[in-house]
Amino acid sequence: MAGRGRATRRFPDEALRHCPAGGDAWIIGGAELYAQTLPLASTAVVTDIEASFEGDAFAPQFGPDWVETGRERHLSATGLAFSFVTYQHHSPHAQEI
């Protein structure tokens, strides 16, 4: 959904052309989109759900150059525990997106 201050784009390169320099861009997956944009990112904010689920698509794994810098633990109204986890990418090739 597009609206004031947000836009929907089909491809990462198209989306990046519309991002202001030095601003934040939020990537709202799926797995393939995450895999395409993770190498471009300097920061990742991930929802870590403390449960196991069956599935055939998964978010990409973070390599050793990603460092956890923050974690906010929460509990849903139904009792499901989850955390918002922030990672920083420590690579000279990363850029803000």
Task: Render pLDDT for 41-97 as a digit per residue (tens, 0 to 9).
Answer: 889 999 999 999 998 888 888 899 999 999 999 999 999 999 999 999 986 554 554
Q: For the chain, which residues make up each domain, given as ranges?
A: 12-89
Locate the DSSP E strands across the chain.
43-49, 66-75, 81-89
Architecture of domain 12-89: 3-Layer(aba) Sandwich (3.40)
Report the DSSP pairing between strands 81-89 and 66-75: antiparallel
What pLDDT does 23 receive? Answer: 78
* pTM, two decimal places: 0.74
Confidence band, pLDDT 50/70/90 cuts, at residue 22: confident
What pLDDT does 15 receive? Answer: 72
